[in-house]
Amino acid sequence: MLTLQEKPKPVIDARPQLPERLHLKDGLAPLKQACEFTLRAEEDAPPFLRIECLTLDLSYVLIDPFLLMPEYAPEFSDADCEEIGLAASDKPLVLAIVNFSRGAEHATANLVGPLLVHPQTGKAKQVIVMNSGNFSARYKLLK
């Protein structure tokens, strides 16, 4: 089990370390065919990032969950880590999907089902954190 207790350096400060592409073997729920994405920083809207599917007309806005909740300490299963090739010494990227469907003032981030990303290979998986009861799937961006 991997538990991120030490706050990683915020993604926004580590742009050179962002992989240009993400590969999700099982796709991004609920679209199993959405497997290949580009990843880029939203230059006009930091700290947001965007992934765009290469095979479907689909994109998502992401954010570093540690910027929203400094005490965020997600636990990831060994199986999830192994699936994307994370070794015990690797520091993964963790990115939360942002939902703007009710407008910016009601935007939320999914802290229960973040993307777990291998920073060097771009292999990624949307996971349900093992300690999901500690977090919200609709964490409000604006308090």
Domain with 15 in it: what CATH number?
2.30.290.10
Q: Is the predicted pLDDT of residue 22 greater than 80, yes or no?
A: yes
What does the pLDDT read at residue 24?
94
Phi, psi values for residue 26, rounded to 5°? -100, 10
Q: Over the stretch 33-55, which tens digit does the pLDDT of each residue have?
A: 899 999 999 888 889 999 999 99
Please count the structural domains in the chain.
1
Q: Is the predicted pLDDT of residue 82 greater than 70, yes or no?
A: yes
% of the chain beyond a pLDDT of 90: 71
Buried b (16+ CB within 10 A) or exposed e, 71-101: ebbbbbeeebbebbebeeeeebbbbbbbbee
Any idea what DSSP says for residue 65? H
Q: Is the predicted pLDDT of residue 16 greater than 70, yes or no?
A: no
Segment 81-92 shows an average pLDDT of: 91
% of the chain beyond a pLDDT of 70: 90
The residue range of the domain holding 49 is 2-140
From CA 42, how far away is CA 122, in angstroms rounded? 18
What does the pLDDT read at residue 59?
94
Q: Which of 3-7, 39-43, 129-133 has the highest mean pLDDT?
A: 129-133
What does the pLDDT read at residue 5?
56
Mean pLDDT of all residues belonging to the chain:
89
Q: Work out the pLDDT band at 90, boundaries 50, 70, 90.
A: confident
